[in-house]
Amino acid sequence: MKTISKDFLINEEIREKEIRVIGSDGSQLGILLSKEALKMAGEKELDLVMISPTAKPPVCKIMDYGKFIYEQSKKEKEARKNQKITDLKEIRLSPTIEEHDIDIKANNARKFLLAQDKVKVTVRFRGRESDYSYIGTRILESFVSKVSDVCVVEKPAKLEGKNMIMILAPKRA
């Protein structure tokens, strides 16, 4: 069994002397002593829950706490379900890559970008190849020109050690 979260003060935990009370139907009952509000909640067999502790005076509502927590968890679950997690896919190229191979890699990148994932394009230099970094820049520019209709350059080409890295993000609709 999952324990009820203690984000809210309920019933006897409320130590304030005067509180603004909202009824179970959403009506304003005004500013009351916390003892009176607790008594009213007890008569209706409901809980007194502090929903806004920072307000002056604090705002409390008469409600079924268990049902309230259930509704909150349902809302959180729905929000998590609607989130889209973007992955970072990587495509590796070499300075000696042929034009047709760039086309194939660009088509793969296009699929990733259309699926709303980011793409990290890396040109890996080996040995003395890093002396010719302008070749890597030219390859990455060629790559971007092939997928420019579905992406924006989030991070331009930059030489980091023996790799030249560029990050592409999908275009927002």
79-92 pLDDT, tens digit each: 888 777 778 899 99
pLDDT at residue 3 tops 50:
no
Q: Cα–Cα distance between 136 and 62 in angstroms, integer?
A: 66
Structure tokens at 145: 């020109």
Largest Cα span, the chain: 83
pTM of the entire structure? 0.54
Say whether the peptide bond before residue 57 is cis (omega within 30 degrees of 0).
Answer: yes
Q: Cα–Cα distance between 34 and 45 in angstroms, integer?
A: 16
Report yes or no: 21 and 3 within 8 Å, Cβ to Cβ. Answer: no
Percent of the chain at pLDDT > 90 equals 33
pLDDT at 78: 87
pLDDT at 173: 62
pLDDT at 104: 94
For 113-129, what is each residue's pLDDT tens digit?
Answer: 998 899 999 999 998 88
Domain ranges of the chain: 9-80, 88-170
Report yes or no: 65 and 9 within 8 Å, Cβ to Cβ. Answer: no
Q: Cα–Cα distance between 1 and 40 in angstroms, integer?
A: 30
For 27-66, what is each residue's pLDDT tens digit?
Answer: 888 888 888 888 888 888 888 888 888 888 888 888 888 8
Q: Which of residues 12 and 1 earns the better pLDDT score?
A: 12
pLDDT at 13: 80
**How far is the CA of 27 from the CAs of 1, 16, 30, in angstroms?**
34, 21, 9
Highest CATH level, class, for 9-80:
alpha beta
Q: Cα–Cα distance between 133 and 153 in angstroms, integer?
A: 19
Angle at 134 between CA 93 and CA 171, to 5 degrees: 55
Q: Cα–Cα distance between 52 and 34 in angstroms, integer?
A: 14
* Superfamily per CATH, domain 88-170: Translation initiation factor 3 (IF-3), C-terminal domain (3.30.110.10)
SS3 86: coil
Average pLDDT, the chain: 86
pLDDT at residue 5 tops 60:
no
The residues near 68 (Cβ < 8 Å, ≥ 6 apart) are 49
